[in-house]
Amino acid sequence: MSSMELKLTVNGQKIKKTTQSHYRLLDFLREDLDLTGSKEGCGAGECGTCSVFINGKLVKSCLVPAAKAEGAKIETVEGIGNPEKMSEIQKAFCATGASQCGFCIPGMVMAATSTLRNNPKASLEQIKEEMGGNICRCTGYQKIFDAVEMARDVINKEKSEKVFEEYDKPANSFIGANVKRIDAPSKVTGRLKYAADMKMPNMLHMQVLRSDRPHAKILNIDLSKAKKIEGVRGIVTCDDVPGIDNFGVFIEDQPVLAKDKVRYVGEAIIAVAADTLEQAKDAVNAIKIKYKDLPALYDPEEALKEKILIHEHYKTNLVKHIPIRKGNTEEAFKKADVVIEDEFATQPVEHAYLEPMAGVSYIDQDGVLTIVSPSQNITHHRHMMAKIMNLPIHKVRFIMSPVGGGFGGKEDMIYQGMLALLATKTRQPIKYVMTREEDIVSTAKRHPSRTKYKMGLTKAGRILAAEISMLADGGAYGCSTEGVMRKAAILGAGPYNIENLKMDTRGVYTNNTPSGAFRSFGALQTEFATESMLDIAAEKLNMDPFEIRRINAFVKGNITHTKQELNSASINTVLNELEKLASWEKGSPQSRGNSRKDMFSKDNRDACELGARLKTNGNGKRVAR
Partner 1 sequence: MSLTKKRGRGVAASWYGIARTAAMDQAGAWAEIDDGGSAKISTGVTEIGEGILTVLAQVAADELGVKPENVMIGENDTSRSPEAAHAGATRQTYMIGNAVALACRGARQKLFDVMAKEWKVDANTIKAHNGEIWSEGTNYKMEMSESIHICKKKYGVIPVAGENYTSHHTGLDPVDGSGRPWQAYVFGGQVAEVEVDTATGEVQLLGIWACHDVGKAINPKGVEGQIEGGVVQAVGQALMENYELEKGRTKSGSFAKYILPTSLDVPKVTSKIVEDPDPLSPLGAKGIGEPAMVPTSPAIMNAIYDAIGVRIKSLPATPEKILNALKEKKQNGSRKFN
Q: Among residue numbers 579 through 598, which ones bind partner 1 (CB under 8 A)?
A: 581-582, 584, 589, 591-594, 596, 598
- The stretch among 64-72, 225-233, 455-463, 545-553 that binds partner 1 (CB under 8 A) is 545-553
152-181 residues near partner 1, rule: CB under 8 A: 172-181
Q: Kindly determine how many residues on this chain lie close enough to bind partner 1 according to the rule CB under 8 A.
A: 159
Q: Is 479 in the site for partner 1 (CB under 8 A)?
A: no
Q: Is 610 in the site for partner 1 (CB under 8 A)?
A: yes
Q: What is the DSSP pairing of strand 396-400 with strand 261-262?
A: unpaired
| Per-residue contact flags (x/-) with partner 1 for residues 552 to 571, judged by CB under 8 A | -xx------xxxx-xxxxxx
Binding residue (CB under 8 A) for partner 1 from 29, 62, 131, 268: 131
Residue 591 beta carbon to partner 1: minimum distance, rounded to whole angstroms? 4
Q: Is 356 in the site for partner 1 (CB under 8 A)?
A: no
Residue 53 beta carbon to partner 1: minimum distance, rounded to whole angstroms? 20
Binding residue (CB under 8 A) for partner 1 from 511, 514, 537, 543: 511
80-99 residues near partner 1, rule: CB under 8 A: 97
Q: Is 398 in the site for partner 1 (CB under 8 A)?
A: yes
Please choose, from the candidates 232, 240, 239, the residue with its C-alpha nearest in 3D space to the C-alpha of residue 281.
232
317-336 residues near partner 1, rule: CB under 8 A: 322-326
Residue 241 beta carbon to partner 1: minimum distance, rounded to whole angstroms? 21
> How far, in Å, CA of 249 to CA of 411, rounded?
7
Residue 228 beta carbon to partner 1: minimum distance, rounded to whole angstroms? 31
Residue 560 beta carbon to partner 1: minimum distance, rounded to whole angstroms? 8
263-292 residues near partner 1, rule: CB under 8 A: 264-266
Q: Is 488 in the site for partner 1 (CB under 8 A)?
A: no
Of 18 and 379, nearer to partner 1 (C-beta) is: 379
Query: Contact at 8 Å (CB) between 521 and 483?
Result: yes
Query: Contact at 8 Å (CB) between 49 and 30?
Result: no
| Long-range CB contact pairs, 56-61, < 8 A, 24+ | 56/117, 58/110, 58/111, 58/114, 60/133, 61/24, 61/25, 61/26, 61/29
Of 120 and 132, nearer to partner 1 (C-beta) is: 132
Please choose, from the candidates 419, 413, 325, the residue with its C-alpha nearest in 3D space to the C-alpha of residue 377.
413
Of 30 and 320, nearer to partner 1 (C-beta) is: 320
95-124 residues near partner 1, rule: CB under 8 A: 97, 100-102
* CA atoms within 13 Å, Cβ hemisphere of 63: 14
Please choose, from the candidates 360, 551, 370, the residue with its C-alpha nearest in 3D space to the C-alpha of residue 464.
551
> How far, in Å, CA of 501 to CA of 530, rounded?
13
Residue 160 beta carbon to partner 1: minimum distance, rounded to whole angstroms? 20
Q: Is 247 in the site for partner 1 (CB under 8 A)?
A: no
Q: Is 189 in the site for partner 1 (CB under 8 A)?
A: no
> How far, in Å, CA of 392 to CA of 597, rounded?
67
DSSP H helices in 256-377: 277-286, 300-304, 329-335
**Which residues does 19 contact at the CB level (< 8 Å), separation at least 6?**
3, 4, 5, 6, 28, 32, 66
Query: Contact at 8 Å (CB) between 155 and 120?
Result: yes
What is the separation of C-alpha 303 from the centre of its chain, rounded to a whole number of angstroms?
27
Residue 158 beta carbon to partner 1: minimum distance, rounded to whole angstroms? 22
